[in-house]
Structure 1
Amino acid sequence: MNENLVVFAHGKESGPWGIKITHLAKTAERRGFAVISPDYRHTQDPQERIAQLVALQPQARRLVLVGSSMGGYVSAMACEALRPQGLFLMAPAVYFPFPGWDGEPRGIPKPSCVVHGWHDSIVPLAQAQRFAQTHSANLHILDSDHALNDQLEMLDLLLDRLLRDVLAS
């Protein structure tokens, strides 16, 4: 079992080592976390992706789940089963009124952080606000779009802060 582990979950249209994950993996490693990023591209079904993450059974003294878009939904929904010590979500695709996408995440850890772009045309900002308010998560709204790729430095700072808080707890 790892002492510290970050598990990334990529979005619907990306892959396990996209721009954000590759950048943020370095942040996690600098803080002493091992990193894994499963490949979910074989399915577009969020429930199958959640089942894949839970079946992976990542274990660590300090487990942090990180997800982007659909991966944000997957990470949030896996919290009840995996009981992470931290959660970092970027433009999470939560609260869509479609079967398989409409679950209420449970077991959300403290600390949790949600980052969303003002100009996100895929996931409405109100959904990120609802999640943050419901789960008392920190919410950061940036001058960006859904991908948040133009905000890598800020994402780095915010993830680093969350990991520092996890290590201190």
Structure 2
Amino acid sequence: MQKLVIYNHGKDSIPWGEKPLALAEVARRRGYLFLSPDYRDSNDPDARVAKLLSLQISAYETLVLAGSSMGAYVATVAAERLGPAGLFLIAPAFYLPGYALSDFRPGSAEIEVFHGWADEVVPPENAWRFCRAQRATLHMLDGDHRLLSGLPQMTAAFEAFLSRCDQRDSQGDADERL
């Protein structure tokens, strides 16, 4: 089975910073290919969504979308069309001025969100609002917007998250055979 994680970096981030490198290591151990597209050519969240949607990913049976800040927004908006097994979001840039969507319909059963209590870029209330609407798991950490201090907790959670995504897809395959 071909499995893929696509990590979407934030507005002022790089594709292969500390968070994607740590998550990529976990993903590879679990048998996932890990992509981190370079979005630095545009700070327009909708242009980034279009770039993500243009990727050739139809060969993969299991898709997981991950992202930080603007990248979490990009992953969530694209999820409506891509139907991933899961969304793993870090300090998601939800309900902010300049972002076209505020009514999200990601259609994914597995959604896990990490947010910092001291985030001065995206208010913690925004993460709670999204998680409440989606019935998603929310982890509030003692950290700022970058959440680098929470990286050990996030990588451990990502391991369990990918396991649940695998189980979900395995169950879906078994249902299709019936």
Q: Same fold by TM (over 0.5)?
A: yes
Q: Indicate the SS of the match to 1:66.
A: strand
Q: Unpaired runs of 5+ in structure 1?
A: none
> What residue is the counterpart of 2:75 in the other structure?
75
Specify the SS of the correspondent of 1:166.
helix
Q: Is the 8 A contact 1:46 1:74 kept in 2?
A: yes
SS in 1 for 2:54: helix
Output the CA distance in 1 between the equivalents of 2:52 and 2:136. 22
1:106-117 correspondence to structure 2 within 5 Å: 106-117=105-116
Give the deviation of 1:19 after TM superposition.
0.8
Which residue in the other structure is 1:85 paired with?
85
**Cα distance, 1:99 vs structure 2:** 3.9
Counterpart Cα distance in 1 of 2:166 and 2:81: 21
Distance 2:136 2:109 in 1: 7
Secondary structure of the 2:87 match is strand
Q: Percent identity?
A: 43
Q: Deviations over 1:2-55 (max 9, x none)?
A: 611000000001111011001110011111111000000000000000000011
Instruction: Tell whether 2:133 aligns with 1:134.
Output: yes
Distance 2:27 2:35 in 1: 11
Q: Distance in 1 between matches of 2:69 and 2:98?
A: 17
Q: Distance in 2 between matches of 1:125 and 1:107?
A: 20
Query: 1:57, 1:82 within 8 Å by CA — same for their partners in 2?
Result: no
| Deviation of the 1:118 alpha carbon | 0.7
Mapped partners of 2:160, 2:105: distance in 1: 23
* Superposition deviation, residue 152 in structure 1: 1.2
The corresponding residue for 2:176 is none
Asked if 2 retains the 8 angstrom alpha-carbon contact of 1:117 and 1:148, the reply is yes
Determine if contact 1:67/1:88 at 8 Å carries over to the other structure. Answer: yes
Q: Provide the aligned C-alpha RMSD in A.
A: 1.2
Counterpart in the other structure of 2:164 = 165
In the alignment of these two chains, the number of paired residues is 167
Which residue is 1:38 aligned to?
37
5+ long unaligned stretches in structure 2: 169-178
TM norm structure 1? 0.95
Kindly indicate whether the alpha-carbon contact (under 8 Å) linking 1:76 and 1:108 is maintained by their aligned counterparts in 2. Answer: no
In terms of mean alpha carbon deviation, does 139-148 or 53-62 score higher? 53-62
- Residue 57 of structure 1 deviates from its aligned partner by 3.8
Q: CA deviation at 1:156?
A: 0.4
Task: Report the TM-score, using the length of structure 2 for normalisation.
Answer: 0.90
Q: In 1, distance between residues paired with 2:35 and 2:106?
A: 21
